[in-house]
A and B are shown apart, each in its own frame.
Chain A
Amino acid sequence: MFLRVVGLCFVLTVFVTPILAADEAPAWLQQAASIKVPSYDKEVPAVVLTKEQAVTVNEDGRVVTVTTYAVRILAREGRDYAGAAELYLTNSGKVRELHAWLIRANGSVKKYGSDDVVDRISDPNDIYDEYRVKMIDGSRDADAGTVFGYQSISEERPLFNQDLWGFQNRLPTLVSRYSLALPNGWRATSVTFNHEKLEPNVSGSTYTWELRDLAPIRREPASPVVANLAAQLAVNYFVADSGSSSAARTFETWVQVSRWVTDLHDAQAVPDATVAAKARELTANSKTELDRIRAIGQFVQHLQYISIDIGVGKGNGYRPHPASQVLAKAYGDCKDKANLMRAMLKAVNITAYPIVIFLGDSKHVREEWASPSQFNHCIIAVKVSDETQASTIIQHPALGRLLVFDATDEHTVVGDLPDEEQGSLALIVAGDSGTLTRMPTMPPESSQLNRQADVVLSAAGDITATVKERSTGQAAVNERRLFRQLSPADYKQTIEEWLARGTTTAKVSRVQPVDNVDGGFGLDVDFSAIAYGQLMQERLLVFKPAIVSRRESLFLTEATRKQPIVLDSRAFTETVRVKLPAGFAVDELPDVVKLDTSFGSYKTTYEVKNGELVFVRALAQRAATIPADQYQAVRSFFEKIRAAEQAPVVLVKN
């Protein structure tokens, strides 16, 4: 196909850069490249030779960071690690220099200069985002045996005199070092995560923390996120005595964090006449306190999620837009929504407080480091009277009964909380009364999928079936999200694909979703399938009573395991009633399965009565993090479930 090739030649000709002299790697990179690396499992694609950040803090709060990084590519699939990326905030920071080099296996060097730097927006989906990233991509030049290194110099005026340093990602790391040079009279303290307490080497006012020979962190299904496995360092730095000239802040307690965030929120949550009128309109027909909260919560949840943060370096990433503005535009981000809800509740005499939380991992926030930068999301705590009852109510020592609610998650109703927020540490923002508080955890029975299937089996093995699913809590949220995000045609197709996994020839005649305002979700499906059961020698009819496959399954096939296994809370019951064809009797039934472990239980039962087979299966899985040494028990549990759901029933012709 030469036409394409002609085009390529043209591009190459135009952009060819004359190579005037051989490039040379800096001494630090040459030294790193000379390090003899240990042998690793073949799935380890690269090893970090050195990972270093040298942070210099100036009297005026300006911070200069020199990052030095070198990685040896061990296998071709590791070439994507040959890259440099430095994040910066356009209004309060810049990447002053970014240089990279690649040392090939034959010793020749390629230097990447300013022409190779790509400067791009951090999140292209945001309408406006001040975070940008400067990058150099060496992956196209890299291969097994090459060493890639880069050095960057960044400058910023941080919002907080705090920093977080990850000693490694998933790659093994030979030397990892973080150093902090402070002005005279300043001091630093640190907290270590996922590793025993690490003490710094202090020389004058320079602190250095270092780890060596860090092992690789394998990717394994259902394992903790890497941030909860890799060693991390959290640092506070401050003037030893009072009278700091730095505009940035540090925090010693969570109350201090609460005060700071409260200042950013409170002024924005004042309801104006429009906000108050809207709140009264929404709650006009509400009879109870909970009704009022629901009415306002539902309204706010359905506003469009759009994030526009201007002045992040000045704290605006934590400051919501005024409630009146959010109402007028009918869009906002999580803090805007929580704040509007708070203002509206205030208009109907209900007090509420923002909660800052981390969304994505309920184990992320560490109590031992008071810092706003541990959070990425904002929800709300509504002060409720004793008349209001819900699973998401917590008792706060100073603020009383608080109903926790996420005004951004449009699929989770008042009285429930998204899975990934349950049990998480979060900061209730209430000035001096604010505390880091454990979010409520819903009982397993509050999130359940129940399925009833009525099936008629013909003598030829054809089936007609009606399946009714009813789900509650977070189980319903998953169903609702699917239903609301897909068009009706795509939703129907998804249901068809799901059924086809268990019944090849399924023809769906009815798909009836029921999205209940109370938080439950229902799905009724009618379908038929030819030859679902297999007729053998005109006398045996074999079929699997688990006609509909479960939507979520965990497959643990590796023989060994290094990381703990993280299981979500999940409950599922199914009753399948199969009307057996006339003239056939049950010849064999699968063995009943009954599994009971510390992390979950599963059972199947079979009963034949009045020409009908009743098959019941029930799974109750508890949220747990199970040590790797119990892997075989977990694997066996899920393996037995898989086998049980494949087990056939044998009918014989009378």
Chain B
Amino acid sequence: MKFMPRFIFPLLLVCLGCAFPAAVFAGDEWRPVAPADLALKAPLVEKDADAEAIFWEVRVDDSVLEELSLRNYIRIKVFTDRGKESQSKIDLPYLGSNRIKDIAARVIKADGTIVELKKEDVFERTIVKANGVKVKAKSFALPGVEPGCIVEYRWREVRPGGSANRLRLQFQRDIPAESVTYFLKPYRGMRYMPFNTGETKFVNDKDGFSRMSLNNVPAFHEEPQMPPEDQVRSWVFLYYTETEDTKIEAEKFWKDKGRTFYEVFKDSMKANDDVKAAIPGIVGDAVTPEEKLQRIYDFCRIKIKNTSDDASGMSDDERKKLKENKSAADTLKRSMGSGLDIDMLFAALARAAGFDARLALSGNREDLFFNRGLTNVSFLGSSFIAVKVGEQWEYFSPAEMYTTFGMLGWPEENQETLITDPKDPIWVTTATSPPEKSVEKRTAKLSLLEDGTLEGDVRIEYSGHLGFDKKEYNDDDSPSEREETLRGSIKRRISNAEVSNIQIENVADLVKPFAYAYHIRVPGYAQRTGKRIFLQPAFFEHGVAPLFSASDRKQAVYFHYPWLEQDEVMIQLPAGYALDNADAPAPLRSAPVTEYIPSIGISKDGKTMLYKRRFFFGGGGNIIFPVTSYSNLKTLFEIINKADNHTITLKQAATTASN
């Protein structure tokens, strides 16, 4: 991925002497259609595409302060009925005082016949209006669309008072494109950051515009377990800076920002007398730095109500009535505050306890993998508190209520992080937590009946990031919604499971692990033949499909965080049956990334079977895999799935059989 910011010269000034009437270059007339395009039978960029853009052009004109103008011209070749379906209806949405103007569209059939869109066939619709705000759209259906034809349309969007600052230019669309071009005319020097666009740059064009083109751009396809869209899609981020320097030194830029942020939040994390006075009561008899920090951390999470959290029980109205906390002391006094207030209070208390605590800013892996080369604060999506313990910086975010002490949220792990400072801000990279920090611990005590029914009690506990995700998902739900979520997840893999006596524990507990406990009965879990019963001991994996099924893959494979699964399944065997084979599937290791260890044992009296399974993935922080690894990764999960589906045989004991 390329991320170095580039600079677009103020071409407007350079080209003043050769200005033409804008309309000449604005694409107000249809361009000739190449016979080769009309004759085209198959897509050029992506095999099997239903439609393909021959060109897709947008002229972004930000040269006057009064308005931003986006002039679009798109020509698309339709190849199939699906293409006909997807390209026939056009909606051009716009907001508020923005306008859509100069719509023109036509269809050129394969024989060269042209069908123009009539003005009366363009409809203006108010999609939604509320409280004085309107979302509108201009919509039309293209006439005579059929496979083999070319459709083309153009329009201009005008945004009064709009700016190209922070505009995202999407190069990758839902259909492939032979050519995607953006023309840009800023009102002064402007910077841009390209993502996944190769070496292509903006170059000078006519009439004060710069131009950036990409050719043969495939469509954007979503895939399971892929990195965030901004990380893999081709796009460009536009922004103005305070100065028109032709070059930005990343180091200087972030040093300035690190100082500025320090100054802005300095007072918010100030340890005044009230904060200092609270420390003895919070820290108590804690001795080590870790103990002290944990008590402060727990105090901030447990004793201070987080009004930003959706499970706080506060309505929008109640939030509106809240007074603003102007300092950490205010938050302490009111025992409530926003997530930001709580982080600030934590920093203030840590300072009062003698620690060096700072605001730290990082990227957010949910959106984009941050790199300090991305010299715009928009890309610092997260913040937390860095505390120096000995010579090491440790990181805390009590604002994220369910984050275990000593961990960050997964989006902030393995991210370049700026620790603010009045003089020399510091760059660090946060660590990825190991699999042992996020554990799914599952136990089951079950009885197998002679007819193949399996019945018993189950308990599952989630810790670390797994626990965080479960708590966040469930904490805003009612008890019956939570039960329904659990039932749904069980029924998706065991459709005929009967689940009862459900207990869901520690849903909003800030310390204890999230836990499920329930009773389950599964008729026909094991298959019975005349003299044998076949049983899958990996009860928790019964009915689970392999993680990947597609044979082809376009994007890298990405897991949010490493995790560990630990299973213990005890199954009491039916009377009169004995294990015929209890061979366990082979273990599998690929250090440091993964390890899979299943084992099967039998009690001395031969009546109870114990199945154990330990599986972790993402060891060594390996959570992203290039697309070239897909085949191996798919095979790995298939082997594990196959091993999970391993069946053992019970045979009728001789005495019973002879009866």
Which residues of A does B touch, CB under 8 Å?
1-6, 8-9, 12, 16-17, 19, 42-43, 75-77, 110, 115-121, 124, 127-129, 140-141, 144, 302, 304, 306, 308, 328-331, 484-485, 487-489, 492-493, 496-497, 500-501, 504-505, 507-508, 530-531, 534, 536-537, 540, 542, 553, 555, 557, 559, 588-590, 639, 642-643, 646-648, 650
Measured between beta carbons, the chain B residues less than 8 angstroms from A4 are 381
Instruction: Give 28 CB contacts A-B under 8 Å.
Output: A3-B381, A5-B340, A5-B399, A6-B340, A8-B308, A8-B338, A115-B131, A116-B131, A121-B126, A124-B127, A140-B315, A304-B84, A304-B85, A306-B141, A330-B143, A331-B141, A492-B551, A504-B638, A507-B551, A536-B583, A536-B647, A537-B581, A542-B647, A542-B649, A557-B491, A588-B531, A647-B527, A650-B529
Query: Residue A555 contacts which of B130, B399, B496, B642 (CB distance < 8 angstroms)?
Result: B496
Query: Residue A140 contacts which of B316, B339, B491, B649 (CB distance < 8 angstroms)?
Result: B316
B550 in contact (CB, < 8 A): yes
Separation in Å of the B549 CB from the closest CB of chain A? 4
A497 to B89 CA separation, bound complex (whole angstroms): 31
Interface residues of B in 486-506 (CB under 8 A from A): 491, 495-498
B125/A121 in contact, CB under 8 A: yes
Asked if A144 meets B478 with Cβ closer than 8 Å, knowing A3-B381, A127-B140, A331-B141, the reply is yes
Query: Residue A330 contacts which of B139, B145, B321, B583 (CB distance < 8 angstroms)?
Result: B145
A500 to B638 CA separation, bound complex (whole angstroms): 10
B308/A5 in contact, CB under 8 A: yes
Query: Residue B552 contacts which of A489, A505, A540 (CB distance < 8 angstroms)?
Result: A489
Asked if A557 meets B495 with Cβ closer than 8 Å, knowing A329-B144, A504-B638, the reply is yes
B545/A501 in contact, CB under 8 A: yes
A328/B319 in contact, CB under 8 A: no
Separation in Å of the A648 CB from the closest CB of chain B? 5
Chain B residues within 8 Å of chain A by Cβ, number:
84
Measured between beta carbons, the chain B residues less than 8 angstroms from A639 are 496, 523-524
A19 to B320 CA separation, bound complex (whole angstroms): 10
Can you add 11 more A-B contacts, CB < 8 Å, to A2-B343, A505-B642?
A3-B383, A5-B338, A127-B123, A129-B125, A330-B145, A330-B146, A331-B145, A493-B552, A497-B545, A504-B641, A588-B532
Measured between beta carbons, the chain A residues less than 8 angstroms from B509 are none
Separation in Å of the B271 CB from the closest CB of chain A? 19
Measured between beta carbons, the chain A residues less than 8 angstroms from B144 are 328-330
Measured between beta carbons, the chain A residues less than 8 angstroms from B496 are 555, 557, 639, 642
Separation in Å of the B638 CB from the closest CB of chain A? 5
Separation in Å of the B115 CB from the closest CB of chain A? 8
Measured between beta carbons, the chain B residues less than 8 angstroms from A642 are 495-496, 524
Measured between beta carbons, the chain A residues less than 8 angstroms from B552 are 489, 493
Interface residues of B in 387-418 (CB under 8 A from A): 397, 399-400, 409
A557 to B496 CA separation, bound complex (whole angstroms): 6
Query: Residue A304 contacts which of B115, B145, B484, B551 (CB distance < 8 angstroms)?
Result: B145
Measured between beta carbons, the chain A residues less than 8 angstroms from B452 are 643
B141/A329 in contact, CB under 8 A: yes
Measured between beta carbons, the chain B residues less than 8 angstroms from A127 are 89, 123, 139-141
Interface residues of B in 75-103 (CB under 8 A from A): 81-82, 84-85, 88-89
A557/B530 in contact, CB under 8 A: no
A557 to B81 CA separation, bound complex (whole angstroms): 41
Smallest CB-CB separation from A498: which chain B residue? B549
A133 to B384 CA separation, bound complex (whole angstroms): 44
A12/B481 in contact, CB under 8 A: no
B477/A76 in contact, CB under 8 A: yes
Smallest CB-CB separation from A124: which chain B residue? B127
A650 to B480 CA separation, bound complex (whole angstroms): 44
B50 in contact (CB, < 8 A): yes
A639 to B523 CA separation, bound complex (whole angstroms): 9
B141/A308 in contact, CB under 8 A: yes
A304/B88 in contact, CB under 8 A: yes
B196 in contact (CB, < 8 A): no
Closest 3 CB pairs of A and B: A76-B478, A2-B340, A120-B128
A141 to B319 CA separation, bound complex (whole angstroms): 11
A117 to B128 CA separation, bound complex (whole angstroms): 10
B338/A141 in contact, CB under 8 A: no
Smallest CB-CB separation from A532: which chain B residue? B642
- Which of A3, A6, A8 is packed against the most chain B CB atoms within 10 Å? A3
- Which of A42, A118, A330, A542 is packed against the most chain B CB atoms within 10 Å? A330
Query: Residue A484 contacts which of B82, B484, B491 (CB distance < 8 angstroms)?
Result: B82
Smallest CB-CB separation from B645: which chain A residue? A504
B638/A505 in contact, CB under 8 A: yes
B141/A304 in contact, CB under 8 A: yes
- Which of B123, B146, B384, B534 is packed against the most chain A CB atoms within 10 Å? B534
B382 in contact (CB, < 8 A): yes
Asked if A588 meets B530 with Cβ closer than 8 Å, knowing A3-B383, A5-B308, A504-B641, the reply is yes
Asked if A540 meets B638 with Cβ closer than 8 Å, knowing A8-B308, A534-B647, the reply is no
